[in-house]
Amino acid sequence: MPRLTLAARIGLIMVIGLISVWIAGVALYFRTHGSDAEGVHPAPERLAALATLIETAPPEQRAQLLAAVNTDLFAARIEIGDAGGGGRVPAPLDARLRDAYATALSGHATIITTPPVPTGARFLAKLAANPRNALEFHIGLRTGQVLVVDTRNPVLVTPDGLPVGFGAGLFGTFVALAALVIMQRETRPLARLAAAVDRIDLSGDPIPLPEARRSAPEIKALGRAFNRLQERLAALIKARMAMLGGISHDVRTFATRLRLRVDQIPEGEERDRAVADIADMIRLLDDALLASRAGAGELGQELVELDEILRSDVSDRQAHGAPVSLAVTPEAEGASLLGDRLALRRIVANLIDNALKYGHRAEAALGIEAASLVLTIDDDGPGIPPGQREILLEPFIRLETSRNRRTGGAGLGLAVVRNLVEAQGGTVTITEAPIGGARMLVRLPLFRVG
């Protein structure tokens, strides 16, 4: 039952429970009054009156009399012979009932038997011969004949006085109820497993799934397998982060030596280029490291004021004469978001780098819309055609493949931006800038106390 919701299950349990209670109630009713009331046990007075009537009626009217009283369940006929003869065995009846019949029919030789059962009969036929289902009254008449009355119960009942099938029905409902409850219990660990898989947080230590002690072995095995998988995944990520950290450390050490040695090159264009190359190399390394940290959910979480980061980046660039402007709306002043400071710096730096690379100037603006901080970075370059906007946010894609490394970079910039923005719950879109080029639009969730 894969799609039964909890409510449906509770409903089903209730319905099945009610049915079982109801069946039990009917069974109780049948046992106490059902079959004893009439049917198979006709009132003794009725039999006595019938016997007397037949005795006193003229012989030619007896057939009509019998026709008048006979029904499907009460068939009387007149036979010739002796009531006690034929080796008939009295049916096992309640003492009270037998006494009542004996008293009422005291003037007649009476024997109460069960109807003969055909040999080799099946269960139902045998059951039909049960004294609760059928009786045969042999009442000796003064005329020397025997009044034979066959009575039958309209519903077949068992020796307990319950209709046939009752027990099976009740048993079935109980089994269904138990099955539902057991299934519920058995599937609970699976639901827990699904929740644990969703919750998996690769940045922290793995939280082992609690052992479901009373579950089936397969489910226990699944839980243990999940725990092992989680540990392996965590170990893998830890190893990867450690490796990246190690690479980063060593590359930075080499770069430091190189940077210090470069100063021994005589001042000039070559030296400036070497310095720029080292800076580019380190930026690439930082991008890759940050992006992989974001992918592993390892970004920090602190309150960061985005306007402050923008201001420091823009004023640094302005100090070097770059044509960058910044406009912050009053409500975005000092607005905080919960994120990673370094990642946010990288987002801002990459977007402005990009704008300056493809245009002549960059215009940054920060505002607030509903619950988001909205950062736009516009350039006056050629812009990006709508069909290529989405693909540009993928790694290693650049619009102008012919560009040399100085202007192009490895094509990681925007992919890293997207990676970092999304890891912090935001979105990046590319549209057109009012000043002619492309507009990068970043939305990040605003932090509000409460």
Partner 1 sequence: MSAATILIVEDDPDIRRLVGDLLGREGFAVEPAEDAAAMDAALARTRPDLIILDLMLPGEDGLSICRRLRAQDAIPILMLSAKSDEIDRVVGLEMGADDYLVKPFGPRELLARVRAVLRRGQAPASRTANRRFVFDIFVIDLDARQLTGPSVAITLTSAEFDLLACFVQRPRRVLSRDQILDWIHGRSAEPFDRTVDMLISRLRKKLETASPGSGLITTVRNGGYLFTPHVKPVS
Question: What are the residues binding partner 1 (CB under 8 A)?
Answer: 201, 245, 248-249, 252-253, 255-261, 263, 275, 278, 282, 286, 293, 300-304, 336, 338, 341-342, 449-450
Instruction: Give the residue with the Cβ less far from partner 1, 185 or 261.
Output: 261
CB of 240 vs partner 1, minimal distance in Å: 16
Three-state SS sequence of the chain = CCCCCHHHHHHHHHHHHHHHHHHHHHHHHHHHHHCCCCCCCCCHHHHHHHHHHHHHCCHHHHHHHHHHHCCCCEEEEEEECCCCCCCCCCCCCCHHHHHHHHHHCCCCCEEEECCCCCCCCCHHHHHHCCCCCEEEEEEECCCCEEEEEEEECCCCECCCCCECCHHHHHHHHHHHHHHHHHHHHHHHHHHHHHHHHHHCCCCCCCCCCCCCCCCCHHHHHHHHHHHHHHHHHHHHHHHHHHHHHHHHHHHHHHHHHHHHHHCCCCCCHHHHHHHHHHHHHHHHHHHHHHHHHHHCCCCCCEEEEHHHHHHHHHHHHHHCCCCEEEEECHHHCCCEEEECHHHHHHHHHHHHHHHHHHCCCEEEEEEEECCEEEEEEEECCCCCCHHHCCHHHCCCCCCCCCCCHHHHCCCCHHHHHHHHHHHCCCEEEEEECCCCCEEEEEEEECCCCC
CB of 401 vs partner 1, minimal distance in Å: 30
Instruction: Give the residue with the Cβ less far from partner 1, 150 or 280.
Output: 280
Instruction: Give the residue with the Cβ less far from partner 1, 5 or 264.
Output: 264
CB of 252 vs partner 1, minimal distance in Å: 4
CB of 319 vs partner 1, minimal distance in Å: 14
CB of 247 vs partner 1, minimal distance in Å: 11
CB of 236 vs partner 1, minimal distance in Å: 21
Residue 28 has which token pair?
A: 């109780």
CB of 278 vs partner 1, minimal distance in Å: 6
Instruction: Give the residue with the Cβ less far from partner 1, 184 or 336.
Output: 336
CB of 424 vs partner 1, minimal distance in Å: 12
CB of 449 vs partner 1, minimal distance in Å: 4
Instruction: Give the residue with the Cβ less far from partner 1, 259 or 357.
Output: 259
| Cβ neighbour number for residue 396 with a 10 Å cutoff | 8
Instruction: Give the residue with the Cβ less far from partner 1, 259 or 403.
Output: 259
Instruction: Give the residue with the Cβ less far from partner 1, 146 or 196.
Output: 196
Pairing of strands 324-328, 362-369: parallel
Pairing of strands 302-305, 336-339: antiparallel
Residue 18 has which token pair?
A: 């009610």
Instruction: Give the residue with the Cβ less far from partner 1, 124 or 239.
Output: 239
Instruction: Give the residue with the Cβ less far from partner 1, 36 or 286.
Output: 286
CB of 257 vs partner 1, minimal distance in Å: 5
Instruction: Give the residue with the Cβ less far from partner 1, 155 or 275.
Output: 275
